[in-house]
Amino acid sequence: MSLVEITRESHDVLIALAYATAQNLTGKPIYRNARCYLHPEAEARLVRAVALARPLGLRLKLFDAFRPSEAQWLLWNACPNPEFLADPRRGSPHSRGVAIDLGLIDAAGNELDMGTAFDAFTPLSHHANTEIPLAAQRNRFLLLGLMSAAGWDFYRNEWWHYQLFNSRQYPVLSDAEAPAPIM
């Protein structure tokens, strides 16, 4: 199985991989190369989500996609919180290439308010949290609707996380199995 590379040009998405910067929960870059990959089945659903967002004047901003198993261990070691991170011994949907973390941007490239930042490990990040501004609740439900219509499942604790249904049927992959190294 080979992963498909996702680029701005090929998929009309904004790629802002948080783990390729120091702006993540570890405080340092985890990815050496900001390359974005997905399993072919997940890539097909991403294409559908992009197509659904376009007539609304929206685009997708990707924070993470395939996450090598080595990266999952680094995140887990920094914050072993099973409410927000998959235990690498069980494997993450990201490490299988079948999960994506994303938000929405408008035609001018402005992020839509989602009530919290990406990777805010707090109950305010839960999809159905009503303690955030009403506009942010609407934006979360808009993202949920687009992604669900495109065939994605969601994780209730993270407004930004979507994955394929039955994600555990896919094998966990390491950095060596990526088309080009990430780490």
Summarised one tens digit per residue, pLDDT across range 50-103 is 999 999 999 999 999 999 999 999 999 999 988 889 999 999 999 999 999 999
Residues counted in the chain: 183
Mean pLDDT confidence for 161-181: 96
Distance, in Å, from the CA atom of 84 to the CA atom of 37, rounded to the nearest integer, reads 21
Give the pTM: 0.95
Amino acid 75: pLDDT: 94
Angle between helix 40-53 and helix 134-149 axes, rounded to 10 deg: 130
pLDDT of 121-160, one tens digit each? 999 999 999 999 999 999 999 999 999 999 999 999 999 9
Write down the pLDDT at residue 166.
Answer: 95
Mean pLDDT of 152-172: 97
Q: Is residue 182 situated within a structural domain? A: no
Domain presence at residue 118: yes
Q: Provide the 3-class DSSP secondary structure of residue 161.
A: strand
Looking at residue 168, what is its pLDDT?
94
Q: Is residue 122 part of a domain?
A: yes
38: containing domain: 4-177
Are 46 and 11 in contact by the 8 Å Cβ rule? The answer is yes
Does any domain span residue 183?
no
**CA-derived radius of gyration, the chain:** 15
Residue 43's pLDDT is what?
98
Q: Is 158 an active-site residue?
A: yes
Q: Identify the active-site residue in 70, 111, 158, 177.
A: 158
Q: How far apart are CA 158 and CA 182, in angstroms?
A: 24
Report CA-CA distances (Å) from 148 to 45, 86, 108: 10, 21, 25
Residue 110, pLDDT above cutoff 90: yes
- Overall number of domains in the chain: 1
Q: What is the pLDDT of residues 19-44, one digit of tens each?
A: 999 999 999 999 999 999 999 999 99
CB 61 within 8 A of CB 16: yes
Q: Half-sphere exposure of residue 133, counting CA atoms within 13 Å on the CB side?
A: 8
Q: What is the CATH number of the domain that holds 76?
A: 3.30.1380.10
40 found inside a domain: yes
Report pLDDT for 1.
60
Q: What's the one-letter identity of residue 110? A: N
Interatomic CA distance for residues 26 and 75, integer angstroms: 7
The verdict on residue 130 lying in a domain is yes
Asked, for residue 74, whether it belongs to a domain, the answer is yes
What b-and-e string marks burial along 148-182, b requiring 16 or more CB atoms within 10 Å of the CB? Answer: eebbbbbbebbbbbbbbeebeebebbebebbeeeb
**Which pLDDT belongs to residue 76?**
95
